[in-house]
Amino acid sequence: MQIVSCPSCGAEVKFRSHASVMAVCEYCSTRVLKDADAVKDLGKMSSVLEDYSPIQIGTSGVLGGRAFNVIGRIQLRYAAGMWNEWYLLFDDGATSWLGDSSGLYTVTTARDTQPPLPAFDELEPGGMVRVGSERMMVSEVRTADCTGGQGELPFKVAEGWQAKVADFRRGSSFVTLDYSDGPEPVVYTGVSVTLEAMQCQLLREDEQIERSAGRYRGKLSALDCPSCGGPINYLPGQTANLLCPSCNAQIDAASPKAQVLAAGERVDRVPTTLSLGAEANLNKQRYRILGVMVREDDEGTRWTEYLLYGARSGFSWLVETDEGWWRAGVMPEWPAWEQTGADTVMLDKIMYEKLYDYGATVIYAAGAFNWRVQVGDHVRVFEFQRGQTRLAAELSTEELIWSRSTPVAADQIKAWFGVAVRGKARRAQATEKGRYGSAAKKFIMVMLAVNAIPMLLNFGGTLVFNLLGALAIFLPALFLDSIDKGDKS
């Protein structure tokens, strides 16, 4: 360990890793450059947002039988949200990065990889590319701005520094290409992890998170909408992207003063079964609804998604559809999908068959979210099912995300939240439209197959009766589908 004095305030600045070239003074936020036997003042570094992450400088753990300590951190922000990269120093002197995004964690380590490596501008989420000897699917492409830093870092970084990165997945394999320093990327291999599996110690307690969350060195963000003054049910530090329930303004709360990103028009509140701020006890953990989002498919069917947050479990979803309730969570490990649009995926040696393929558009959103959401956001959804479990891939222009959902009884929702589920049980989700017409078509095909031989022997007479029978079946089905559509609109 090397200890130097901060050129700005004189406080001790520690360099634990020989690979570290810069450290941020914890007292005055000066960026201190380690240059041979001297140190240089590189100017101030923006303070990080003290968010909901339980990790902090000094957190320790074990990965792959090797002990590590967290010695540094950078905070990055891109169009859809923000995340932390924690700099890890292992006891053997090796270093890695611990990605921390909405309660999902990955550890990445630099490796040498032979060409071919794709160009950054050629990458699109959902595409298949070759990374070295592996054929992988592009999961995310983003350019992010560094908004703050702490502790030791292996490179010079300042406000305005940008990271250009792309993530790739194939089953449990995870690779990141970092194009921040030029067209030739640095290759990192990754693995999904949990804090429990890494036996993490010296994590922040819930009470400490609640006290510090949302502060820039002691400054609290406002909770009133800067656009209309209306109250927003916002938990400081839990989320940084807000949508005012009253005026629909988009608000960035990841700064000392909440800023309006886009003005909105006053909208009528959409009635929902569960309200913003509602709390529930799930598996002996306290959860709270931070955001509510209503989405619509290509045929006009709507459903409601509630964003839940638990201090130790992170983010998850409750989804209220015409089929009933579902509980969903983002998957840290992906199923094997040969290519976007393929009819099957494999997860844990179990085959899932494609159930639906449709577009989904946000038509209403309110509250706080861990990514930037707005009305009009559109994704393509691919759903797969095996038994009671569904897997869903959501593809946008920026990323591909997989989630897993299981059904939840309405009575269970009542038990969790202590509220009655309003309205009658709804019937079908995004893709059961035209169910009567679909059934009628299948019956008509069977009828024609059964009468194939009589039609060959007496084509004219038999055809007329078959056409009349088909109309007698199909027209009432169309009428019933129209009633279905009217009930759902």
Distance CA 253, CA 370 (A): 11
Distance CA 173, CA 79 (A): 26
* DSSP single-letter state for residue 361: E
What the block records as the tokens of 418 is: 């202590």
Distance CA 437, CA 452 (A): 22
- CA-to-CA dists, residue 64 to 88, 110, 197, angstroms: 13, 16, 10
Amino acid identity of residue 50, one-letter, is E
With the C-alpha atoms ordered 291, 296, 302, 303, is the resulting torsion angle positive or negative?
Answer: negative
Distance CA 9, CA 4 (A): 12
What is the pLDDT at residue 434? Answer: 54
What is the pLDDT at residue 267? Answer: 45
Phi, psi (deg, nearest 5) at residue 109:
-135, 135
Place of tokens 């700064």: 255
Specify which residues 188 forms β-bridges with: 110, 176
Furthest CA-CA distance within the chain: 103
What is the pLDDT at residue 257? Answer: 47
Give per-residue pLDDT as tens, 102-123.
777 899 999 888 777 899 999 9
SS3 404: strand
What is the pLDDT at residue 256? Answer: 45
* DSSP single-letter state for residue 30: E
Q: Residue 245, preceding bond cis, omega within 30 degrees?
A: no
What is the pLDDT at residue 373? Answer: 84
What is the pLDDT at residue 89? Answer: 95
What the block records as the tokens of 75 is: 């905070």
For the whole model, what pTM was predicted? 0.67
What the block records as the tokens of 440 is: 């009628």
SS3 400: strand
Low-confidence residues in the chain, pLDDT < 70 = 1-2, 14-22, 31, 33-50, 52, 80, 158-159, 210-241, 246, 248, 250-269, 311-312, 419-489
Is 147:159 a contact under the CB 8 Å cutoff?
yes
Phi, psi (deg, nearest 5) at residue 149:
-155, 160
Residue 62: burial class (beta carbons within 10 Å; 0-12, 13-18, 19+): middle
Specify which residues 242 forms β-bridges with: 251, 368
Give per-residue pLDDT as tens, 393-418.
999 988 999 999 999 999 899 889 88
Distance CA 120, CA 123 (A): 6
What the block records as the tokens of 104 is: 């999902």
What is the pLDDT at residue 263? Answer: 44
- The domains of the chain are located at 2-193, 221-268, 270-431, 435-488
What the block records as the tokens of 489 is: 């609109």
Q: Could you tell me which of 78, 76, 118 has the C-alpha nearest to residue 97?
A: 76
Contact residues for 335 (Cβ-Cβ < 8 A; gap 6+): 171, 345, 346, 347, 352, 384, 391, 402
DSSP string, 175-236: EEEE-TTSSSPEEEEEEEE-TTTTT-BSPPPHHHHHHHTTEETTEEPP-B-TTT--B----T
Distance CA 136, CA 128 (A): 6
Residue 453: burial class (beta carbons within 10 Å; 0-12, 13-18, 19+): exposed
- CA-to-CA dists, residue 250 to 17, 24, 151, 482, angstroms: 41, 32, 32, 37
DSSP string, 222-285: P-B-TTT--B----TTT-SEEE-TTT--EEE-SSSS-EEEE-----PPPP-SS-TT-EEEETTE
What is the pLDDT at residue 371? Answer: 78
- CA-to-CA dists, residue 433 to 13, 89, 302, angstroms: 64, 55, 11
